[in-house]
Amino acid sequence: MKEELIEKYLPLVKSIANRYKNCSVPMEDLIQEGCIGILEAFEKFDATKGAEFSTYAFYWIKRNILKALDEANKQSPNSINLNEEIDVGAYNYTFPQTDARSNPEIRKTIETFPEIERKVLTLVLGLDGKGVRDLNQISKILNLPKERVRQIREKAKRRLRNLNLKLTEPLYAVNIGIV
């Protein structure tokens, strides 16, 4: 029964997990956490309340995925806070803004990096004055695969950490309704 339930709702789990694939937890782990969410939803679901199971499961899937991301980021020395305010029908996220624009030491240090790392960080942080850009936009600008841009970004962030400089990337506030 549980296997059939997971198989039926696996596409929903994958669609939710896919939104967080570029975060600090591997996609397979996100999917696993989502499947645990399905099982929790199944145990707590009350059909007499009038909600569809898929709507109810959505909450539990997303809750478990966000919990896994939060746990992983608590262990990371360069973590972000993924605390979530849950409102009826919508999920609101608040992310920290970058400190690179206000930290001259970071800007000066980035200038000493290899050219490709300097370009990627400049675009990621919006240091060129044209706003922050995501990995897709940067990959088009630099004509590089998205995964390569991600690797370069991570290498540059490690370089900053090795110099005892902390970097918080700007992330956009997201408002996602229940599907």
If asked whether residues 148 and 108 sit together in one domain, one would say yes
If asked whether residues 18 and 57 sit together in one domain, one would say yes
For residue 1, the cross-strand partners are: none
- Give the range of the structural domain holding residue 135, as residue numbers without chain letter: 104-162
Summarize pLDDT for 16-27 with one digit per residue, the tens. Answer: 998 888 777 888
Tell how strand 175-177 and strand 84-87 pair up: unpaired
CATH code: domain of residue 14: 1.20.120.1810
Higher pLDDT, 160 or 81: 160
CATH code: domain of residue 145: 1.10.10.10
Residue 91 lies in a domain: no
If asked whether residues 71 and 24 sit together in one domain, one would say yes
Q: How many domains does the chain have?
A: 2
Residue 117 lies in a domain: yes
Provide the pLDDT confidence category of residue 67 given band limits of 50, 70 and 90. confident
Amino acid at 82: L
**In this model, does residue 178 exceed pLDDT 70?**
no
Higher pLDDT, 157 or 144: 144
